[in-house]
Amino acid sequence: MSRKARKYIIAPNSFYHIVSRGNNQRRIFRSGRDYKKFLNILEKTKKKYPFCLYSYNLLPNHYHLGIETQEIPVSKIMHQINSTYVKYFRRRYGGVGHLFQGRFFSALVVKDLYFWALVRYIDLNAVEAVLVKKPEDYPWSSYSIYCQKDYSGKLIDRERFLRYGDENLEQSRLSYLRFIQEETKSKEKPPFSLSENML
């Protein structure tokens, strides 16, 4: 029996928290090359089906994305991302069957209320998973992009994200880094300081 198609609110500027997990909690990233390939797929998908990407965290057996749609529905975007990555993964490692555990999880988020909080949650996911002690030490997260004083890349829509702050872009960037720091302190985890290259 076929599954019913999921219903989505197809409207411009819808903000989603996306999670996609490996089937049976298996690894979907086995090497640095795999992480880089996935990020390349994200960037190419943005060009084909425009959307805004504010955060990502790629962990060994799942990933998180914080995206804002434009005209293309999130289901079409995610099909493009996951199907392209599965083809790459099978070409490289072989095997059959599902790489991902069913359909991806998506939560429609009220941007004005939870925008920064969700991006922070995604950026801290590797810390929550105890893969690193400090978020800037994890190379497969968007947090490293927010740590850079200057960023000219196209993967993360950093300027658009920072413009949701009440200050100029640089002040907003530093506010976001402190917002991250406050969360780690509130959970009584070892605090980390903003290093010179972040300021």
- 156-195: pLDDT as tens digits: 999 999 988 767 899 999 999 999 988 766 554 433 333 2
Q: Quickly tell me which residue has 């991302």 as its tokens.
A: 81
Tell me the CATH number of domain 15-198, given options 3.30.230.70, 3.30.70.1290, 3.40.50.620, 1.10.10.60.
3.30.70.1290
- Between 171 and 197, where is the model more confident? 171
Closest CA relative to residue 146, chosen from 117, 114, 191, 180: 180
Please provide the distance, in angstroms rounded to a whole number, between the alpha carbons at the two ends of the chain.
56
Distance CA 159, CA 100 (A): 32
On the CB side of 92, how many CA atoms lie within 13 Å of its CA?
A: 14
Distance CA 101, CA 179 (A): 32
User: Is 104 in contact with 78 (CB distance < 8 Å)?
Assistant: yes
- Give the pLDDT confidence of 81-111 residue by residue, as tens digits: 999 999 999 999 988 788 999 888 988 888 7
- Give the pLDDT confidence of 33-72 residue by residue, as tens digits: 999 999 999 999 999 999 999 999 999 999 999 999 999 9
Q: Quickly tell me which residue has 């069913």 as its tokens.
A: 102
Provide the pLDDT for residue 199: 26
Banded pLDDT at 198 (limits 50, 70, 90): very low
- Report, as an integer, the average pLDDT of 139-152: 94
Q: What token pair was written down for 95? A: 């095997």
Provide the pLDDT for residue 102: 80
User: Is 157 in contact with 145 (CB distance < 8 Å)?
Assistant: no
Q: Quickly tell me which residue has 């409207």 as its tokens.
A: 11
Q: What is the pTM of this model?
A: 0.85
Size of the chain in residues: 199
Q: Where are the alpha helices (DSSP H) in the chain?
A: 32-48, 74-93, 111-123, 125-128, 143-147, 158-162, 169-186
Rounded to a whole number, what is the largest CA-CA distance in the chain? 58
Residues 6+ apart with CB under 8 A from 123: 55, 57, 135, 141, 142, 143, 146, 180
Provide the pLDDT for residue 186: 58
Residue 67: CB atoms within 10 A of its CB come to 24
Closest CA relative to residue 19, chosen from 87, 98, 107: 107
Distance CA 151, CA 172 (A): 14
